[in-house]
Amino acid sequence: MTITFNRPVVIPITELEQSAFCQTDGNLRTKSLEEEFAAGVRWQKVPIRYLKLSPQEIDEGIAAARQALGKQVVVLGHHYQRPDVIKYADFRGDSYKLSQMASRERDSKFIVFCGVHFMAETADILTASDQTVILPNMAAGCSMSDMAQTEDVEDAWEQLSSVLGGEDEIVPVTYMNSTAEIKALCGRNGGIVCTSSNGTQLMEWAFRRGKRILFVPDQHLGRNTALKLGVPLDEMAVWSPFKQLGGHSPDRLRRAKIILWEGHCSVHTRFSVKQIEDARQKYPDVNILVHPECTMEVVQEADYVGSTEYIARMVREAPAGSKWAIGTEINLVKRLAEENADKSVFCLDPIVCPCATMYRVHPAYLLWVLEGIMAGLVINRITVGQKVAEQARIALRRMLEVAG
């Protein structure tokens, strides 16, 4: 029996949830699901047994399930997952690395994706038809991805096409953090998918194919990447999905080299120039290393900028004794600090908040779906419709071809 969902259980992040698990002492210890629910959050419902289990009981249950299921299950874990989940990942990575793994993974029948909804959708698109992709908690979405609703992007594309004309006028580029339908729009209109690992390379590719780019959904990644390629700010326009023509005149859109969707990451926009100044004042020899989803001001002030994989590599390869203030998700920063004890690694923001949607993958959900497989029950299967998958695959394969 399969419990299939085509769509995530959309539970928007409230202000309460955004700050529910923020800490000043950096202690992100997992509690029972019932205790975490007591913070006032609403996640996907699970059978009552899983609410009550202690972290140790969950741990033992997952270990036993993994042992029993063997190679028929592979667990993929995004770097931003909490320690009590990532420790079960057979492969860890950012969305780019995990999408490459999903495209190569042919041995396992079940791919349990500990990440967020758009990542599991991508895995379903890239894996074989006899493989099943499972997302442990269907409420694990991405607030940035939710800022670009498929209908709004399709509407924007129609408006832009009618104002600007044919394919060589505008090329759609979507960040991996978007729905399968938006990836499909890119696939059928000569566009491409990018990630923060390959954004520069793929934006160059898109500029070779057309006069301008529609970049969805992260305005900061789009702006930071375009600036790197020499596009001036006055040739960028931010598209508001709530206004006709995104809030611009046709003439303004014709003068733009890049049209940036008005979306952002609630985790990476927490970092500020003030935090960088404070870190430098406290540790004059500190290296500031941030993710390109941070604002332009933060990126310009930082010493190093790059994707999650780049951040991990920089810290790993840094000399012993060096200091690193990092502007990215706290679970990754804490892990890097633990794995690089000969260096001083800390979060740029003294109040540490996990990505609230990634955090929804509590280990009890992982246990629930694994025990489901053992009982012949496929819980939370992610499936992308055939036509959408075919078109999205075009844009994803372009990315894998261009960026390797």
User: How distant, in Å, are the alpha carbons of 32, 245, 369, 373 from that of 50?
Assistant: 9, 48, 11, 16
Nearer to ligand SF4, 30 or 177 (CB): 177
Per-state percent for the chain, helix, strand, coil, to nearest 5: 50, 15, 35
Work out whether 180 is an interface residue with ligand SF4 (CB under 6 A). Answer: no
Give yes or no for residue 357 binding ligand SF4 (CB under 6 A). yes
Q: How far apart are CA 236 and CA 229, in angstroms?
A: 12
- What minimum distance in Å lies between the beta carbon of 308 and ligand SF4? 9
Euclidean distance between CA atoms 181 and 211, whole angstroms? 24
Phi–psi pair at 163, nearest 5 degrees? -80, -40
- Is residue 219 a contact residue for ligand SF4 (CB under 6 A)? no
**Which of 20, 116, 206, 403 contacts ligand SF4 by CB under 6 A?**
116
Report the phi/psi class of residue 252: left, alpha or beta, with left for phi > 0 and alpha for psi in -120 to 50.
alpha
For ligand SF4, the closer of residues 53 and 265 by Cβ is 265
Q: Is 142 in the site for ligand SF4 (CB under 6 A)?
A: yes
Beta bridge partner(s), residue 233: none
Rounded Cα distance, 110 and 113, in Å: 9
Q: Is 99 in the site for ligand SF4 (CB under 6 A)?
A: no
Q: 62 or 356: whose CB is closer to ligand SF4?
A: 356
Structural contact between residues 375 and 58, judged by C-beta atoms closer than 8 angstroms: no
Stretch that binds ligand SF4, among 46-54, 124-132, 234-242, 260-268 (CB under 6 A): 260-268
Q: Which of 144, 180, 253, 382 binds ligand SF4 (CB under 6 A)?
A: 144
Q: Which H or E run contains 236?
A: strand 236-239
Q: Which residue has the tokens 């001083």?
A: 344
Q: Shortest distance, CB of residue 239 to ligand SF4, whole angstroms?
A: 18
Spatial CB neighbours of 106, under 8 Å, sequence gap ≥ 6: 128, 131
- Binding-site member from 137, 177, 197, 198 for ligand SF4 (CB under 6 A): 177
Find the part of the chain contacting ligand SF4 (CB under 6 A) among 101-109, 162-170, 220-228, 354-362: 354-362
Candidates 1-9, 156-164, 262-270, 338-346 — which segment interacts with ligand SF4 by CB under 6 A? 262-270
Where do contacts with ligand SF4 occur on this chain (CB under 6 A)? 80, 116, 142-144, 177, 265-267, 329, 355, 357-358
